[in-house]
Amino acid sequence: MPVIIKGETYYRTSEVCRVVGIGRSTLFRWLKAGILDDVPHRDRRGWRLFMEADIKRIGEEAHKIK
């Protein structure tokens, strides 16, 4: 379930992974390896919050053909 903060919609890690079709470990591995830039938004617990543009970027990486 998305979170709305100050009129902006944010998605949690598990939601992003489900939408894009990758596992959490894959997402975290890509972030650690620098394949994806880390997101600047976090909630009060320090958990990442993704915006629609972030989801699109992750989806493009997930479906990239090399």
Domains in the chain: boundaries: 3-62
For residue 1, name the pLDDT band (cuts at 50, 70, 90): confident
pLDDT of residue 66: 80
Task: Tell me the helices (H) and strands (E) count for the chain, helix number first.
Answer: 3, 2
Rounded-to-integer distance, Cα 22 and Cα 20, Å: 6
What CATH number was assigned to the domain covering residues 3-62? Answer: 1.10.1660.10
pTM of the predicted model, to two decimals?
0.87
What are the distances in angstroms from CA 63 to CA 3, 21, 40, 60? 26, 9, 23, 5
| Dihedral of alpha carbons 38, 42, 48, 52, sign | negative
Q: Note the pLDDT tens digit of each residue in 3-53.
A: 999 999 999 999 999 999 999 999 999 999 999 999 999 999 999 999 999
